[in-house]
Chain A
Amino acid sequence: QQPVQSPQAVILREGEDAVINCSSSKALYSVHWYRQKHGEAPVFLMILLKGGEQKGHDKISASFNEKKQQSSLYLTASQLSYSGTYFCGTEGWGSNYKLTFGKGTLLTVNP
């Protein structure tokens, strides 16, 4: 089952914050986050493993609530370079490490 991402699209001004959510109907072992700019390949951001770990780099962080099968990606003080489509990929228990990706969230950061 494909995870559900929300919102589908968000428009920000530079410096504003955003939260992107990823929900699954199945028990998850891990959640991966990727960003894809138009016409380019997806680029890895971070992996969250079960246990509610919060990881981050720069001003992008994420959390994983394994009880709710949800992950959230937090973008703080957004920069123009944050624009792109964000995908979560979920790995379910027993899925043999296969990722199922959501449909993506289009983030646009304007000056």
Chain B
Amino acid sequence: NAGVTQTPKFQVLKTGQSMTLQCAQDMNHNSMYWYRQDPGMGLRLIYYSASEGTTDKGEVPNGYNVSRLNKREFSLRLESAAPSQTSVYFCASSEDRGREQYFGPGTRLTVT
């Protein structure tokens, strides 16, 4: 089992460019999450999907969109990247809402 995988591992964007961060899990989990982690800020929830076909905003959703493509995959899109979106992005999954979360290795994004 690979657990939670994320692509890419690193990305550099120019301001205004768009990109999609991919996340997949092979644990048959119902719930998936996107977090961002900035120095000294902890983890902040961007969006989450309680189950296939549903998505909901988290604490910091502005500037992002998500798609729960199927039960395995949950993507995060930046339509017009800004320097404030420079961060490490973690995808996570859990069997159901409120259960322990398993995190992917992260994507380190720099917007110049």
Q: Could you tell me how many residues of chain A have their Cβ less than 8 Å away from some Cβ of chain B?
A: 23
Evaluate contact between A87 and B105: CB separation under 8 angstroms.
no
What residues of B have a CB within 8 angstroms of the CB of A99 in the complex? Answer: 45, 101
Majority DSSP secondary structure for residues of B touching A: loop
Contacts A41-B103, A41-B104; A101 near B44 (Cβ below 8 A): yes
Contact with B along A75-111 (1 / 0, CB 8 A): 0000000000001010100001111111110000000
- Chain B stretch 87-104: residues in CB contact (< 8 A) with chain A: 90, 97-104
What residues of A have a CB within 8 angstroms of the CB of B40 in the complex? Answer: 103
Contacts A87-B43, A101-B44, A103-B41; A30 near B98 (Cβ below 8 A): yes
Q: Could you tell me how many residues of chain B have their Cβ less than 8 Å away from some Cβ of chain A?
A: 23
Evaluate contact between A98 and B58: CB separation under 8 angstroms.
yes
What residues of A have a CB within 8 angstroms of the CB of B102 in the complex? Answer: 44
What residues of A have a CB within 8 angstroms of the CB of B100 in the complex? Answer: 32, 44, 47
> Which of the residues A30, A40, A87, A91 comes within 8 Å of B42, measured between beta carbons?
A87
Evaluate contact between B48 and A98: CB separation under 8 angstroms.
yes
14 contacts between A and B (CB under 8 A): A2-B42, A30-B98, A41-B103, A41-B106, A42-B43, A42-B90, A44-B100, A47-B99, A87-B42, A97-B31, A97-B97, A97-B98, A102-B42, A103-B40
Q: Shortest 3 CB-CB distances between A and B: which pairs?
A: A97-B97, A41-B103, A44-B100
